[in-house]
């Protein structure tokens, strides 16, 4: 957060390396903070500065209710992946019964020396992944692929795997770590971004706790789920720039919603011309064009269909279109073994050699 006075800023620069993160991106690139009223922004800054400077206790001079403090402290942590050193536990003390919060006692996961070393390593990796000088969509796509490539999904969750330490220092994380890494790198690259939470419908039909991102590109808000796009052996784009309607197919959002996410035309497959209509002629044309690229360059085909019915129709026809392609090209046809994977929740298919 921006500091209220130059004296306080200089003091914190001397005592805490966190300023190395803090000064790189503007507060306007945060998700929740810019949308709060002045009263809540003031409380946000108090709490943020307290954990930034690793205070064990923050005493309040203004009147705040326990609900306000709990809500804003949660927003501070949700909005600030760089605060990996803060333990998500605290104690509130009251004066005059429970009519006024007197103070909050704070806890931390690392010593000051440990935090300093981890921050240096996190920032070094984030700088590697940062993208400069591109339009929003191209920048966002490169960040998405870079973060997915840099992290391996960790099945056996550990405390670090939920933070930037797991994601950018250890290179292994769960969804929390992925989303925090994407958020940090996006902000360092100049994109406004946040982290949201809820549940995801897994391949076994079970709703699991999950975290993903919301990011502003080309003037509109959209959802990105890097964790789910990071598949074994390849990076999918099935969860790149979803609107609310597409997200709702297999996600349930539980975080406070600061913005509506309704623009479907920033979806990866719309912007790249790979959204497949139900019309058989157009479907065949798009597929054969992508198949030709796969055959000549070895670049995998990934397509999204406008409906489940269109996907099912494609699955009943695509082998006959491959046979047709091979007859027309003879020895230059698409032969040998190939792999395909279907996401029947987002209506996508990926075909590779």
**What does the pLDDT look like over 175-207, one tens digit per residue?**
999 999 999 999 999 999 999 999 999 989 999
Assigned domain for 213 exists: yes
Cβ neighbours of 348 (radius 10 Å): 23
Q: How far apart are CA 92 and CA 80, in angstroms?
A: 21
Residue 218: CATH number of its domain: 3.10.620
The predicted structure's pLDDT at residue 18: 40
The predicted structure's pLDDT at residue 235: 97
Q: Which residue's entry shows tokens 């997200």?
A: 247
Ranges of the chain with pLDDT below 50: 1-20
Assigned domain for 187 exists: yes
Q: Which of 59, 78, 108 is the last residue of a domain?
A: 108
What dihedral do alpha carbons 256, 259, 263, 266 form, nearest 10°?
Answer: -80
Residues 119 and 102 in one domain: no
Residues 120 and 244 in one domain: yes
Residues 136 and 257 in one domain: yes
Task: Give, in order, the Cα–Cα distances in Å from 188 to each of 20, 53, 191, 323.
Answer: 11, 22, 7, 48
Residues 73 and 123 in one domain: no
The predicted structure's pLDDT at residue 23: 63
Cβ neighbours of 58 (radius 10 Å): 19
Q: How far apart are CA 131 and CA 128, in angstroms?
A: 8
The predicted structure's pLDDT at residue 25: 79
The predicted structure's pLDDT at residue 17: 35
Rg of the chain, C-alpha, whole Å: 23
The predicted structure's pLDDT at residue 216: 97
Q: What is the pLDDT of residues 226-244, one digit of tens each?
A: 999 999 999 999 999 999 9
Residues 138 and 243 in one domain: yes
Residues 64 and 139 in one domain: no
**pTM, rounded to two decimals:** 0.90
- Give the N- to C-terminal CA distance of the chain in Å, as an integer: 49
Task: Give, in order, the Cα–Cα distances in Å from 81 to each of 78, 85, 141, 276, 282.
Answer: 7, 10, 20, 37, 44
Q: Which of 77, 108, 139 is the last residue of a domain?
A: 108
Residue 217: closest CA among 163, 148, 144, 275: 144
> 346 with 246: CB under 8 angstroms?
yes
Dihedrals phi, psi of 207, to nearest 5 degrees = -80, 120
Residues 197 and 300 in one domain: no
Q: Which of 201, 232, 265 is the last residue of a domain?
A: 265
**In total, how many domains does the chain have?**
3
DSSP state of 165: I
Assigned domain for 87 exists: yes
Range of the domain at 321: 273-352
Q: How many residues does the chain have?
A: 353
> 105 with 57: CB under 8 angstroms?
yes
> 139 with 127: CB under 8 angstroms?
no
Residues 24 and 101 in one domain: yes
Residues 163 and 251 in one domain: yes
Task: Give, in order, the Cα–Cα distances in Å from 119 to each of 36, 88, 112.
Answer: 28, 19, 10
Q: Which residue's entry shows tokens 């670049």?
A: 299
Q: What is the DSSP string of 39-51?
A: HHHHHHHHHHHHH
Assigned domain for 1 exists: no
Cβ neighbours of 127 (radius 10 Å): 11
Residues 165 and 236 in one domain: yes
The DSSP bridge partners found for residue 198 are 210, 253
Residues 261 and 156 in one domain: yes
Residues 126 and 240 in one domain: yes
């Amino acid at each position: 957060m921006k500091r209220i006075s130059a004296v306080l800023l200089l003091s914190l620069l001397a005592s805490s390396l966190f300023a190395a993160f803090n000064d790189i991106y503007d507060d306007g690139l945060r998700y929740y903070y810019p949308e709060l009223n002045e009263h809540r922004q003031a409380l946000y800054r108090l709490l943020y500065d307290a954990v930034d400077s690793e205070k064990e206790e923050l005493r309040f001079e203004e009147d705040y209710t326990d609900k306000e403090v709990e809500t804003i402290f949660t927003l501070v942590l949700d909005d600030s992946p760089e605060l990996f050193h803060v333990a998500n536990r605290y104690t509130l003390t009251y004066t005059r019964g429970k009519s006024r919060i007197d103070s909050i006692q704070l806890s931390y996961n690392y010593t000051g020396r440990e935090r300093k070393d981890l921050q240096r390593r996190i920032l070094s990796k984030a700088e590697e992944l940062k993208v400069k000088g591109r339009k929003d969509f191209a920048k966002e796509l490169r960040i998405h692929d870079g973060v997915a490539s840099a992290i391996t999904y960790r099945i056996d969750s550990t405390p670090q795997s939920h933070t930037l330490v797991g994601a950018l220092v250890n290179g292994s994380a769960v969804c929390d770590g992925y989303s925090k890494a994407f958020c940090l790198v996006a902000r360092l690259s100049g994109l406004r971004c946040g982290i949201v939470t809820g549940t995801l419908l897994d391949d076994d039909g079970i709703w699991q706790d999950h975290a993903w991102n919301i990011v502003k590109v080309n003037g509109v808000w959209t959802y990105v789920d890097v964790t789910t796009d990071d598949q074994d052996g390849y990076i999918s784009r099935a969860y790149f720039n979803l609107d609310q309607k597409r997200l709702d197919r297999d996600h349930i959002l539980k975080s406070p919603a600061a913005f509506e996410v309704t623009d479907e035309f920033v979806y990866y497959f719309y912007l790249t011309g790979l959204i497949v209509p139900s019309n058989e002629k157009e479907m065949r044309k798009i597929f054969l064009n992508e198949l030709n690229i796969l055959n000549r360059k070895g670049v995998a085909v990934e397509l999204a269909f406008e409906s489940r019915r269109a996907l099912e129709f494609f699955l009943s026809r695509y082998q006959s279109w491959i046979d047709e392609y091979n007859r027309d090209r003879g020895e230059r046809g698409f032969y040998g073994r190939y792999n395909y994977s279907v996401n029947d929740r987002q209506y996508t298919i990926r075909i590779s050699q």
